[in-house]
């Protein structure tokens, strides 16, 4: 879908969609429970539905798990599935079959699993790997600068094994908020994990033979990573602002850091209960360590594009292996619409300009790129045309409905 976004400020209120991160974790814990609790997820997405479908496959002796384009689904369920099954086949589409699963793969291979890579097409998906052999307990060693999804997958799987295990993180842990969210959900399901930490490098000690015991009915939180787009949109828009509802300021989601980052840039934000009022203000450039909040980088780059001074975003290497190479994607998109931006190996440097000039960009089959460039239209002199705008369905299918409800105008070309 190719759309034309008409530049104008946004105003009104919007409710956060369900957090993908929280929903994935609740659904997996529920599926591993003897008694399946009711999980309330008031909005869904392609990634959440991929996890639902894969969890149903766990009822089969030899499951075939089609993770679609969801990296979380794949990385969470690789160890979980092999803690339960002797053999499983994993599929994916888009960039997912090319995205890395090392060093999780090597750690699983050292603990009883054999990976067979075939890469054959199966309908719209491709085989990622077939795995044979049950996951065995032991000591799992991972560096702290790889995907936290590997740690989450092991934290879910290892309590199911007969003997105790450890996950040793050998370098300071990045994206800690995502691991903390996992630990919070596990605690709700009465799973015990003991943590020892030295110089920012935690060791997780997990007793074996545990049972997932649900606390009762549960609900997925509102998504901080997606509401961040509307928080920045409010700052870039009018004095009336945007009210963002349905988010927990005390959430374990790391992307709630958007509040602090936006305020550091000069954003005018008021938090009251489970709502944030985001109002227009002049922004200034800052330095951003992206290691704990990689999903916020696309919208932060948009905010920086018309902020006074220079914004430097660093420690963002992992953005190169997302749904797109997000550093290259944001560099290309913002360059095409008149931003002054430099791409570095591990980040971006953005020097603010008064206004963007508009133009045509690719959505790179990446939901966060499409949403970021839609918000960029607010500070553009001419329309921004986005090719492949349907990518928002991955995490936020109602994004353009909410955009329109806030006064946004777009045309399908």
pLDDT value, residue 36: 81
C-alpha span between 381 and 360 (Å, rounded): 13
User: What does CATH list as the number for 2-17+222-412?
Assistant: 3.65.10.10
Q: Is 103 left (phi over 0), alpha (psi -120 to 50) or beta?
A: alpha
Instruction: Give the residue among 394, 392, 353 at the shortest CA–CA distance from 229.
Output: 392
* Binding site residue list for phosphoenolpyruvate: 20, 71, 99, 149, 326, 368, 394
Confidence at residue 238, expressed as pLDDT on a 0 to 100 scale:
75
At 4, is the secondary structure helix, strand, or coil? strand
- Beta-carbon contacts of residue 273 (< 8 Å; ≥ 6 apart): none
**b/e map of 80-110 (b: 16 or more CB within 10 Å)?**
bbbbebebbbbbbbbbbbebebebbbebbee
pLDDT at res. 233:
97
Cα distance between the two ends of the chain: 8
Strand 218-219 and strand 39-40: pairing? parallel
Per-residue pLDDT of the chain (413 residues; tens, 9 = 90+): 999 999 999 999 999 999 999 999 999 999 999 888 889 998 999 999 999 999 999 999 999 999 999 999 999 999 999 999 999 999 999 899 989 899 999 999 999 999 997 667 777 889 999 999 999 999 999 999 888 999 999 999 999 999 999 999 999 998 898 999 999 999 999 999 999 999 889 999 999 999 999 888 899 999 999 999 999 999 999 778 999 999 999 999 999 999 999 999 999 999 999 999 999 999 999 999 999 999 999 999 999 999 999 999 999 999 998 999 999 999 999 999 999 999 999 999 999 999 999 999 999 999 999 999 999 999 999 999 999 999 999 999 999 999 999 999 999 99
Q: Are 303 and 232 in contact (CB under 8 A)?
A: yes
Please answer whether residues 104 and 79 qualify as being in contact, where contact means their C-beta atoms are separated by less than 8 angstroms: yes
> What's the CA dihedral at 174, 187, 151, 71 to 10 degrees?
-90
Look at the chain and count its residues: 413
Where in the chain is CATH 3.65.10.10?
Answer: 2-17+222-412, 20-206
CA distance 288 to 295: 13
**pLDDT for 291:** 93
List, edge to edge, every strand of the sheet that includes 139-142: 139-142, 165-169, 201-206, 194-198
Q: What is the structure's pLDDT at 377?
A: 98
Q: What b-and-e string marks burial along 282-301, b requiring 16 or more CB atoms within 10 Å of the CB?
A: ebebbebebbbbbbbbbbbb
Q: What does the pLDDT look like over 192-203, one tens digit per residue?
A: 999 999 988 999
d(CA 307, CA 262): 11
Contact 243, 223 (CB under 8 A): no
Contact 72, 25 (CB under 8 A): no
Active site residues: 295
Q: Which helix (H) or strand (E) holds 142?
A: strand 139-142
Residue 280 CB neighbour total at 10 angstroms: 19
pLDDT for residue 200: 86
Domain 20-206 has CATH 3.90.850.10: no
Helix (H, G, I), strand (E, B) or coil at 386: strand
CB within 8 Å of 142: residues ≥ 6 apart: 103, 104, 107, 150, 151, 167, 168, 169, 170
Strands (E), 359-407: 359-362, 384-387
pLDDT at 46: 94
State the pLDDT at residue 118.
66
pTM for the complete prediction?
A: 0.93
């Amino acid at each position: 879908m190719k759309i034309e976004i008409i530049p104008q400020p946004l105003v009104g209120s919007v409710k956060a969609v369900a957090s993908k991160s929280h929903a994935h974790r609740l659904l997996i814990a529920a599926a591993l429970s003897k008694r399946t609790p009711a999980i309330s997820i008031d909005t869904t997405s392609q990634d959440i539905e991929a996890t639902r479908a894969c969890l149903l496959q766990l009822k089969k002796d030899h499951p075939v798990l089609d993770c679609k384009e969801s990296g979380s689904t794949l990385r969470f369920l690789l160890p979980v599935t092999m803690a339960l099954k002797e053999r499983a086949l994993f599929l994916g589409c888009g960039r997912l079959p090319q995205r890395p699963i090392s060093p999780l793969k090597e750690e699983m291979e050292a603990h009883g699993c054999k990976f067979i890579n075939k890469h054959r097409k199966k309908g719209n998906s491709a085989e990622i790997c077939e795995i044979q052999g049950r996951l065995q307990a032991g000591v799992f060693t991972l560096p702290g600068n790889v995907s936290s999804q590997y740690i989450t997958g092991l934290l879910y799987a290892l309590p199911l094994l007969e003997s105790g295990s450890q996950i040793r993180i050998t370098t300071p842990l990045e994206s800690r908020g995502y691991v903390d969210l996992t630990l919070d959900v596990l605690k709700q399901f009465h799973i015990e994990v003991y943590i020892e930490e030295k110089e920012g490098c935690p060791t997780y000690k997990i007793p074996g033979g545990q049972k997932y015991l649900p606390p009762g009915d549960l609900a997925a939180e509102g998504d901080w990573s997606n509401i961040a787009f509307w928080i920045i949109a409010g700052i870039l828009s009018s004095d009336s602002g945007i009210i963002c509802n349905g988010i927990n300021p005390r959430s374990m989601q790391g992307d709630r850091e958007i509040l602090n980052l936006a305020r550091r840039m000069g954003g005018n934000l008021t938090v009251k209960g489970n709502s944030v009022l985001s109002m227009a203000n002049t922004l200034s450039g800052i330095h951003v360590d992206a290691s704990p909040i990689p999903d916020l980088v696309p919208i932060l780059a948009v905010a920086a594009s018309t902020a006074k001074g220079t914004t430097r975003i660093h420690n963002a290497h992992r953005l190169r292996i997302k749904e797109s190479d997000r550093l290259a994607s944001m560099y290309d998109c913002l360059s095409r619409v008149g931003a002054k931006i430099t791409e570095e190996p591990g980040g971006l440097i953005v020097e603010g300009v008064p206004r963007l000039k508009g133009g045509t960009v690719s959505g790179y089959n990446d939901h966060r790129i499409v949403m970021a460039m839609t918000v960029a239209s607010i500070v553009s002199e001419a329309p921004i045309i986005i090719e492949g705008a349907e990518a928002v369905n991955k995490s936020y299918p109602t994004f353009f409905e909410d955009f329109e409800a806030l006064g946004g105008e777009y045309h399908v070309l």
